[in-house]
Amino acid sequence: MLLRPPVREHLLPLMDGLLREFSTLHRLSGCEGAEQAARRMVSLLQEQGLDARLMHCPLYLSDPLAGRLRLPEQPQWQCDAKTRSFSAHCPQGVEGRAYYDAVACEPRTDLEWRSWAQDVRGKIVIAGQGFEDYVQRLCAAGAAGLIHIWGSAETALHEETVGPVWGTPEPDDFLRYPRLPVICVNQQDGQRLLAQLQREPLLVLEIATELNFHVAECSMPVVDIPGTTPEFVLLSSHYDAWHEGVTDNATGNALCLAMAIHFHQQPQTLLRGLRIIWWSGHSNARYGGSTWYADNYRQQLKQHCVAHINVDSPGCLDAVDVVLNASGAESHVFLNAAVEAVTGEPARRITTLGKGGDQSFWGCGLPLHFAFREVPLEKTSQSPGSGGGWWWHTEADTYDKVDLNILWRDTQIHAHWLESLLTQPALPLAPLAYLNGLQQSLAELISAISPEFDLRLVAEKLQQLQPVLAELTAKWQKDPMTWQPQLKQAIAGLHRLRYSSVDDFHYDLSYRGGAFPGFQELAAQRGETSPEMWLMMTTRFCRQRDRALSLLENVAAICRS
Ligand SMILES: [Zn+2]
């Protein structure tokens, strides 16, 4: 079935209109501007004849309000600072000796972390990073605070989070939130601070933070374009933003709006439905909206959803190169065909999905998960988002950072993917390539950790799965309709192993990434590890090994059924 292609003259003005409206709305979840944006999205869809509505989810929000750095003995010394979502709220300020962690970005062994913990106790640590796991260690070590010096030269200060909990916390998770204030300064101010510290090794610092922690009912627009079968594809983008966030993520919201109108206006009925959701809680609730959706719609997702495509920050100025993040189960021919059809070239690279970006569905049985990214020819900022632009997560993420031609390119690429997924009975699955990738990742992991953590049984089980999965794949290629349900389930089982270390109803901590997260933190050498940590790692290893074996047995049983 061939669909009508998307019409630029029709869709781009609507998308541009949305960008201009959203560029005047501060859209942090819980704010009136965000609610206004959600209502506007629904009314725009309804004006186009779509049956859109709002869902409402309560979220636990952490809004960073202010961060401050002072040198008590030199009151004239000044610099700008911002705090982080889920930093501790310390408006009265904390004082402490400065400690510069010059190798904060390097890996450390357990024994090195132990001696580091002695050094940072009671100190205000200055470091070149502020990742959640680092903040967790600082907290456990009793550090007084953290000053994160941004790693690239732009003067603008970026918003970020140090919340380690994925989505809304449960009572036990609540203890995980940092109890120390965290601020960020730009590189220039950071260098000035370090120069001061060099002159005055006993330098005392004071940092203060103000945050607003609150629970709010947040709206999420949703629209369904039905197909002839109950199966559907989930297309999503977060509509909440830091500040007016035009490239992160009004452009993604506009792309999703265009896809809703485009597929709704096709004369023929689609084979699969298209469900589009605009998430809240991405920024100040650590993916709270998508996690709430997984918690509340798990059965529907498990039964009927075949793919999740997350759209975050398309259409960015200078972002000429397309890169893709995919779970590994997607056929590269399928992924690249859309990119080639629009740009004449395949994606610059296809890499596995990292931890982040509303990837909240590993326990929901979906076989396909992928996300479009883009980068400039030369990257000068450490920004991981907004197409590599320095303005990412700052007040400068304004309308002038959009390139409408690039946004249209990105929209067309999504239209190609969706057309295939919504009309072709056979899904673009690459089960054997995925299994092969898993075996490689496991081999890399085995060579990186102590041989005492013996993963050979898991490697053998993966190897034994090869012929069984090959047989199912061959049957599916001949008769997709009969064998696709089993194949989807088998792949979803492998995703649980590759992307998660918990059961279907829980979420890994936000920093627990990499292949086989359950095995990621195991040590390279016993001699570098304290006895108690070794015992804890061994315990984790046993449980995760048995989880892996059990998952692989299930996958093999599904393949044989
Ligand atoms: Zn984003």
Residue 107: CA count within 13 A, CB half-sphere: 8
CA 548 / ligand 1 centre spacing (Å): 32
Q: List, by residue range, all CATH 1.20.930 domains of the chain.
A: 431-560
CA 248 / ligand 1 centre spacing (Å): 5
What does the alpha-carbon distance between residue 412 and residue 161 come to, in Å, rounded to a whole number?
Answer: 32
Q: Decide which of 3.40.960.10, 3.40.50.1100, 3.40.630.10, 3.40.30.10 is the CATH code for 8-58+219-423.
A: 3.40.630.10
CA 313 / ligand 1 centre spacing (Å): 6
CA 156 / ligand 1 centre spacing (Å): 17
Torsion of CA 93, 96, 97, 100, to 10 degrees: -60
What does the alpha-carbon distance between residue 219 and residue 202 come to, in Å, rounded to a whole number?
Answer: 50
Structure tokens at 262: 């485009």
Query: CB of 552 within 8 A of CB of 497?
Result: yes
Q: Whole-prediction pTM value? A: 0.97
- Say which amino acid occupies 516: F
Which CATH code is given to the segment(s) 62-214? 3.50.30.30
CA 393 / ligand 1 centre spacing (Å): 8
Residue 157 CA to its chain's centroid (Å) = 21
CA 386 / ligand 1 centre spacing (Å): 7
Q: List, by residue range, all CATH 3.50.30.30 domains of the chain.
A: 62-214
pLDDT at 512: 87
CA 283 / ligand 1 centre spacing (Å): 8
What does the alpha-carbon distance between residue 377 and residue 392 come to, in Å, rounded to a whole number?
Answer: 17
Q: List, by residue range, all CATH 3.40.630.10 domains of the chain.
A: 8-58+219-423
pLDDT at 406: 98
CA 239 / ligand 1 centre spacing (Å): 8
What does the alpha-carbon distance between residue 228 and residue 480 come to, in Å, rounded to a whole number?
Answer: 17
Run of H or E residues at 520: none
User: What residues contact 446, with CB distance under 8 A and at least 6 apart?
Assistant: 455, 456, 459
Per-block average pLDDT, block size 10, for the chain (561 residues)? Answer: 90 98 98 98 98 98 98 95 98 98 96 97 98 97 98 95 97 96 98 97 97 98 97 98 97 98 94 98 97 98 98 96 97 98 97 93 97 92 91 96 98 98 97 98 96 97 98 97 97 98 97 93 92 97 98 97 89
CA 462 / ligand 1 centre spacing (Å): 35
Structure tokens at 37: 């944006």
What does the alpha-carbon distance between residue 177 and residue 165 come to, in Å, rounded to a whole number?
Answer: 8
CA 216 / ligand 1 centre spacing (Å): 21
CA 30 / ligand 1 centre spacing (Å): 17
CA 346 / ligand 1 centre spacing (Å): 24
CA 251 / ligand 1 centre spacing (Å): 10
pLDDT at 1: 56
Question: End-to-end CA distance of the chain, in Å?
Answer: 32
Q: Which of 171, 202, 130, 85 is nearest to 138 (CA)?
A: 130
Q: Alpha helix locations (H) across 121-238? A: 132-141, 187-199
CA 279 / ligand 1 centre spacing (Å): 11
CA 381 / ligand 1 centre spacing (Å): 16
Which CATH fold would you assign to the domain 431-560?
A: Transcription Elongation Factor S-II; Chain A (1.20.930)
CA 40 / ligand 1 centre spacing (Å): 19
Q: Which of 464, 282, 463 is nearest to 360 (CA)?
A: 282
User: What residues contact 90, with CB distance under 8 A and at least 6 apart?
Assistant: 145, 181, 207, 208, 209
